[in-house]
């Protein structure tokens, strides 16, 4: 099963939930950190990295001897990464998405491709937990090629946990796509609710079943619970507002390490999700 | 005109809480919400929307099944795995148009996306330019540019002094669009290992784009050892820590009541936030 952990709003506890699930399962589990802009799973799991691979996207390289300056490449480039001015081809590699249209369509066959490094993928282990993370190079804008590369390491024979970046736009969609279930972590505030509703719309657009973890629960604000009932999304776990949990997290200690009684609750959460996914599959077939 | 952007790297450290309070404290400014895919500032500033504009950006491939001969060339050339069994997955399509260019039957057209909306609003604190990216849409960086450009034109037309921008989390495309060309970046962090790690990366992004960073440590008393570590790290980096804000239930209380915290209560954290605004204001003057 592929389970992604997303949220809409940042700082609601995605990584806390993802790492707690991984530690509770212990083995036959893979955790993928797809928050490639700010990956934090490693802070909590302290994995041993055994391999680091650059992630490159193919960008055009012009062979000046063959180029006829016809301008076709600039015309086909949807991202304005190429411009042809008289006897000069200007290239803006940071705009290139690596689609390959220019090299394929160049009538003079003057364009080859070379790799441009956008970040790295690192592989390792934390105990028996298999760890994969992507890291976007500082100053680079495009996170999705790194996320795609991280996801190529999915081992479908294992339980796969994907930690997702906050928000609802392209990096989130790329990370959540093809999951069997998406767990949305939120908090009982108007911000938590608003961004949760955006995340629910995004997950629905992708056709993925979802459930909710309410972090820092307690207090007087109960609109998140009301929302869950209204839209018929299961509220699968509550983690109370507890300064001790926050202090443990500040030191890089996950919930199940600091408070071992949570292990069973996370296992139960995982099994509940497995049941929902099995039912969902039955309905679809 | 001076532009200040509030960023954090890690999400949920308190950017919007601080921007909403600056909205109360600062005079003569335009407000900007550049967290276009999970915008929250409007929940506190209660804008009255004056203008709504469509944000059209990017394209998506559409296959005309009547013309398609199922040759499969489009599927072969697509590098974004956006065509499966000759069906376009619009959430995976990056709009490059490669498929449309190569289709021998010209069965594929590229259609412009309605990728979201942007708004110009009035609030009791001043004008607000904000946006909503469509569900599962891309090009958030371009939408951020549109929001900032329109905030700038309001400033020029109506003679404001500042733009105060609520930025997105992360370090990627919408962050770069929010940051480039700003006068100052206020980085809000928290004394957790994750917050520290993310701060380091967002300081790197500020350096890369030549924008001076200032740091605020929110909930500093959650872990004072980590707070000291952040302060020494910033000192090594030559980055000034201008504020430490304690954990205070008033912040959540104000939020639940839909108000900027400095307006909700004049006690507790409000003093620190006010002092921080004066400090930011001074830095902008020197800039």
Per-residue pLDDT tens digits for A221-277: 999 999 999 999 999 999 999 999 999 999 999 999 999 999 999 999 999 999 999
Contact yes or no for A101 and B97 at CB 8 A:
yes
Question: Residue B268: pLDDT band by 50, 70, 90 thresholds?
Answer: confident
Q: Which residue of A has its CA nearest to B102?
A: A105
Contact yes or no for A37 and B171 at CB 8 A:
yes
The angle that helices A223-231 and A190-205 make with each other, rounded to 10 degrees, is 20
Tokens of B38: 């999970």
Q: What is the 3-state secondary structure (H, E, C) of chain A?
A: CEEEEECECCCCCHHHHHHHHHHHHCCCEEEEECCCCCCCHHHHHCCEEEEEEEEEEEEEEECCCCCCCCCHHHHHCCCCCEEEECCEEEECHHHCCCCCHHHHHCCCCCEEEEEEEEEEEEEEEECCEEEEEEEECCCCCCCHHHHHHHHCCCCCCCEEEEECCCECCHHHHHHHCCCCEEEEEECCCHHHHHHHHHHHHHHHHCCCCEEEEEEEECCCCCHHHHHHHHHCCCEEEEEECCHHHHHHHHCCCCHHHHCCCHHHHHHHHHHHHHHHHHHHHHHHC
Question: Residue B287: pLDDT band by 50, 70, 90 thresholds?
Answer: low
Share of chain A above pLDDT 90, in %: 95
| CATH domain A2-55+118-284 topology | Rossmann fold (3.40.50)
In chain B, what residues touch A171 (CB-CB under 8 Å)? Answer: 170, 172
Quick one: average pLDDT of A105-118?
97
Question: Residue B286: pLDDT band by 50, 70, 90 thresholds?
Answer: low
CA dist list (Å): A109 to A40, A67, A81, A104, B96: 44, 8, 18, 8, 19
Q: Which domains does chain B have, with CATH numbers?
A: 2-46+124-286 (3.40.50.300), 57-114 (3.30.70.20)
Residue B5 has pLDDT above 80, yes or no: yes
Cα–Cα distance, B79 to B181 (Å, whole number): 33
Contact yes or no for A11 and B13 at CB 8 A:
yes
Q: Is A104 in the B-facing interface, judged by CB distances under 8 Å?
A: yes
| pLDDT score recorded for residue B274 | 97
How many contacts does A have with B, using Cβ atoms within 8 A?
188
| CATH domain A64-109 topology | Alpha-Beta Plaits (3.30.70)
Contact yes or no for A191 and B43 at CB 8 A:
yes
Q: Which of A78, A168, A206 comes nearest B37 by C-beta?
A: A168
Contact yes or no for B37 and A173 at CB 8 A:
no
Contact yes or no for B97 and A76 at CB 8 A:
yes
Q: Is A191 in the B-facing interface, judged by CB distances under 8 Å?
A: yes
Quote the mean pLDDT of chain A.
Answer: 96
A180 near A1, Cβ under 8 Å?
yes
Query: Which residues numbered 100-119 in B keep a CB inside 8 Å of some CB on A?
Result: 101-102, 110
A178 near A34, Cβ under 8 Å?
no
Question: Residue A45: pLDDT band by 50, 70, 90 thresholds?
Answer: very high
| pLDDT score recorded for residue B108 | 98
Quick one: average pLDDT of A150-177?
96
Q: What is the tens place of the pLDDT at every residue in B53-66?
A: 999 999 999 999 99
Q: Could you tell me the sign of the dihedral formed by the alpha carbons of A169, A174, A179, A184, in that order?
A: negative
Residue B147 has pLDDT above 90, yes or no: yes
Cα–Cα distance, A264 to A2 (Å, whole number): 20
In terms of pLDDT, which residue wins out, B103 or B284? B103
| pLDDT score recorded for residue B138 | 80
Q: Is the ipTM of this complex over 0.90?
A: yes
pTM of the entire structure? 0.96
Cα–Cα distance, B70 to B75 (Å, whole number): 10
Q: Is A189 in the B-facing interface, judged by CB distances under 8 Å?
A: yes
Q: Which of A15, A104, A191 comes nearest B16 by C-beta?
A: A191
Best to test chain B binding among A7, A37, A120, A196 (most B CBs inside 10 Å):
A37
Residue B25 has pLDDT above 60, yes or no: yes
Quick one: average pLDDT of B147-152?
97
In terms of pLDDT, which residue wins out, B285 or B188? B188
B252 near B3, Cβ under 8 Å?
no
Cα–Cα distance, B56 to A265 (Å, whole number): 46
| Length of chain A, in residues | 285
Q: Is A141 in the B-facing interface, judged by CB distances under 8 Å?
A: yes
Q: What is the tens place of the pLDDT at every residue in A127-147?
A: 999 999 999 999 999 999 999
Quick one: average pLDDT of A215-225?
94
Cα–Cα distance, B217 to B245 (Å, whole number): 6
Residues of chain A with CATH 3.40.50.300: 2-55+118-284
Residue with tokens 């979201």: B116
| Length of chain B, in residues | 287
Residues of chain A with CATH 3.30.70.20: 64-109
Cα–Cα distance, B60 to B110 (Å, whole number): 5
Give me the torsion for CA of A163, A168, A172, A173, rounded to 10°: 130
């Amino acid at each position: 099963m592929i389970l992604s952990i997303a949220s809409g709003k940042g700082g609601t506890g995605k990584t806390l939930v993802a790492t707690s699930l991984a530690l509770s399962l212990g083995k036959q589990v893979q955790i993928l950190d797809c928050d490639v802009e700010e990956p934090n799973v490693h802070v909590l799991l302290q994995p041993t990295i055994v391999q680091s691979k650059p992630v490159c996207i193919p960008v055009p390289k012009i062979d000046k001897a063959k180029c006829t300056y016809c301008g076709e490449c600039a015309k086909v480039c949807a991202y304005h990464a190429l411009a042809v001015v008289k006897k000069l081809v200007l290239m803006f590699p940071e705009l290139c998405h690596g689609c390959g249209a220019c090299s394929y369509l160049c009538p003079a066959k003057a364009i080859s491709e070379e790799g441009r490094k956008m970040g790295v993928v690192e592989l390792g282990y934390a105990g028996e937990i298999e760890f994969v993370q992507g890291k976007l190079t500082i100053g680079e804008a495009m996170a999705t090629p790194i996320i795609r590369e991280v996801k190529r390491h999915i081992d479908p024979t294992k339980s796969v946990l994907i930690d997702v970046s906050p928000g609802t736009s392209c990096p989130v969609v790329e990370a959540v796509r093809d999951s069997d279930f998406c767990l949305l972590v939120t908090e009982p505030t108007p911000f938590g609710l608003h961004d949760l509703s955006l995340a629910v719309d995004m997950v629905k657009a992708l056709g993925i079943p979802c459930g909710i973890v309410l972090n820092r629960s307690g207090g007087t604000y109960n609109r998140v619970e009301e929302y869950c009932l209204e839209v018929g999304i299961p509220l699968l776990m509550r983690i109370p507002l507890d300064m001790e949990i926050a202090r443990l997290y500040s030191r890089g200690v996950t919930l199940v390490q600091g408070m071992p009684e949570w292990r069973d609750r996370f296992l139960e959460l995982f099994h509940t999700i497995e049941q929902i996914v099995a039912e969902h599959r039955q309905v679809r077939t | 005109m001076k532009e200040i952007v509030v960023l954090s790297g890690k999400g949920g450290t308190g950017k919007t809480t601080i921007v909403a309070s600056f909205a109360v404290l600062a005079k003569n400014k335009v407000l900007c919400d550049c967290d276009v895919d999970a915008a929250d500032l409007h929940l506190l500033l209660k804008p009255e929307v004056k203008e709504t504009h469509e944000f059209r950006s990017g394209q998506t491939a559409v296959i005309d099944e009547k013309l398609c001969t199922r040759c499969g060339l489009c599927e072969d050339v697509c590098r974004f795995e956006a065509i499966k069994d000759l069906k376009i997955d619009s959430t995976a399509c990056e709009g490059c148009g490669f498929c449309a260019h190569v289709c021998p039957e010209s069965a594929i057209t590229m259609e412009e996306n309605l990728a979201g909306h942007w708004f110009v609003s009035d609030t009791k604190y001043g004008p607000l330019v904000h946006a909503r990216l469509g569900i599962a849409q891309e090009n958030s960086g371009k939408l951020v540019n549109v929001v900032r450009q329109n905030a700038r034109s309001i400033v020029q037309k109506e003679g404001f002094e500042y733009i105060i921008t609520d930025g997105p989390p992360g370090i990627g495309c919408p962050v770069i669009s929010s940051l480039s060309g700003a006068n100052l970046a206020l980085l809000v962090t928290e004394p957790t290992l994750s917050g520290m790690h993310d701060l380091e990366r967002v300081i790197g992004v500020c350096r890369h784009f030549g924008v001076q960073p200032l740091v605020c440590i929110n909930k500093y008393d959650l872990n004072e050892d980590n707070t000291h570590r952040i302060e020494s790290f910033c000192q090594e980096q030559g980055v000034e820590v201008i504020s430490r804000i304690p954990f205070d239930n008033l912040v959540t209380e104000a939020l639940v009541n839909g108000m900027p915290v400095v307006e909700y209560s004049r006690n507790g954290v409000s003093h620190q936030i006010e002092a921080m605004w004066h400090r930011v204001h001074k830095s902008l003057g020197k800039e």
